[in-house]
């Protein structure tokens, strides 16, 4: 039992992401997510040099992102689709990978988890909010379909008639979460409102995978 005011117990296994095609999660969002950017550079020996993206994490100038956008901008000025596609491949090593972390209750296991997902899933959740859904009072089901583009992950809001009431242990998780500082567990920055950490001209991957 989680005592009121007690910090949530936490271990690495509480981080959760959809690993393969067909994986899904039924969840209830507990609060504001965090957004974290990282750059992945492959070393000659096959290991990876992982560096934080200060543009995403701290709203500062990032030399890697500047190079990425500079390569794309030059190609886009030509209007040549072939050159633009070539530029995307050339710029890819400097592209930021962006991760979104939602504090959630896994409704099937009645457990607290930090759900690592993508900007695409976040956009779908924001769309539900814009349509009037109370996203902190609703259950969602997300599934990794691996279909190209924005359909790589599907998201559906569970109808209120099909939502099961919160269990006592889940109510306790909500109370305990109110005394939790998510920044102690994840990097990046708190996503206070829509688009706060993402530039309008950002081009990011939406498959949620790292290159290794």
pLDDT tens digits for 73-95?
A: 999 999 899 999 999 999 999 99
pLDDT beyond 90 at 199 = no
pLDDT tens digits for 122-174?
A: 999 999 988 888 889 999 999 999 998 889 999 999 998 888 999 999 999 99
Q: Is the dihedral of CA 112, 114, 118, 122 positive or negative?
A: positive
Distance CA 61, CA 55 (A): 5
- Using DSSP's 3-state secondary structure scheme, residue 29 falls into strand
Closest CA to 72 of 61, 83, 56, 59: 83
pLDDT tens digits for 24-35?
A: 999 999 998 999
- State the pairing for strand pair 24-29/153-157: unpaired
Non-local CB neighbours of 75 within 8 Å, separated by 6+ positions: 83, 84, 86, 87, 88
Higher model confidence: residue 191 or residue 212? 191
Structure tokens at 88: 């995307």
Average of per-residue pLDDT values in the chain: 85
Non-local CB neighbours of 49 within 8 Å, separated by 6+ positions: 40, 41, 42, 43
Distance CA 18, CA 208 (A): 9
Global confidence as pTM = 0.82
pLDDT beyond 70 at 194 = no
Domain residue spans of the chain: 14-37+100-190, 54-94
């Amino acid at each position: 039992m989680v005592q009121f005011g007690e910090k949530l117990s936490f271990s690495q296994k509480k981080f959760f992401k959809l690993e393969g095609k067909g994986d899904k999660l039924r969840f209830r969002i507990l609060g504001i997510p965090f957004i974290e950017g990282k750059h992945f550079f492959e070393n000659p020996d096959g290991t990876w040099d992982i560096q934080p993206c200060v543009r995403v994490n701290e709203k500062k100038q990032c030399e890697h992102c500047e190079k990425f956008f500079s390569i794309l901008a030059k190609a886009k000025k030509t209007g040549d689709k072939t050159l633009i596609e070539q530029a995307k491949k050339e710029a890819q090593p400097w592209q930021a990978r962006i991760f979104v972390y939602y504090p959630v209750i896994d409704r099937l296991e009645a457990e607290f988890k930090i759900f690592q997902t993508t900007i695409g899933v976040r956009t779908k959740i924001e769309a539900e909010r814009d349509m009037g859904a109370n996203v902190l009072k609703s259950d969602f089901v997300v599934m990794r379909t691996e279909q190209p583009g924005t359909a790589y992950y599907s998201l559906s809001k569970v109808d209120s008639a099909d939502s099961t009431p919160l269990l006592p242990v889940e109510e306790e998780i909500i109370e305990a979460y109110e005394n939790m500082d998510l920044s102690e567990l994840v990097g990046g920055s708190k996503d206070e409102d829509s688009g706060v950490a993402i530039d309008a001209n950002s081009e990011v991957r939406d498959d949620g995978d790292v290159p290794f």
